[in-house]
Amino acid sequence: MTLGQAIINYKDYEDTEEAMHSIYAKRINGKFQPDSEAVVLKLTIEEMEMKWSEIAKEKCLGFEYFLEMFVLKDFYEGLLRLEEFKSDTKKVARILYYAEFDA
């Protein structure tokens, strides 16, 4: 899956009291890109307390933490209300920027 697909398909992942979802991705030329390889991990509450780098080493070597799904959902749904972010491409680009520089 690509990072862009993981972002656009955020509704496919529902967190519970027992587990939460996080996105991990590979950087391309030092940056997260829409076509970066990505995985969505379903993590237990205990795993969520681990360092992101430890989770990546254990579950998806070569990937880096991108965002927790609940953060992505909140941000994405906020973009839905803004006229300038009607296209999926613009939403993905804004979320990539947010994850890199604001999160």
Give the mean pLDDT of the chain. 93
Does residue 103 surpass a pLDDT of 80?
no
Q: In this model, does residue 45 exceed pLDDT 90?
A: no
% of the chain surpassing 90 pLDDT = 77
Residue range 82-86: mean pLDDT, rounded = 86
Cα angle, residue 12 at apex, residues 11 and 17 outer, rounded to 5°: 90
Report CA-CA distances (Å) from 85 to 14, 44, 65. 24, 33, 24
Identify which has the larger pLDDT, 102 or 42: 42
Per-residue pLDDT at 96 exceeds 80:
yes
Q: Please give, one letter per residue, the 3-state secondary structure of the chain.
A: CEHHHHHHCHHHCCCCCCEEEEEEECCECCECCCCCEEEEEEEEHHHHCCCHHHHHHHHCCCCEEEEEHHHHHHHHHHHCCCHHHCCHHHHHHHHHHHHHHHC
- Mean pLDDT for 43-60 is 90
Has residue 71 got a pLDDT over 90?
Answer: yes
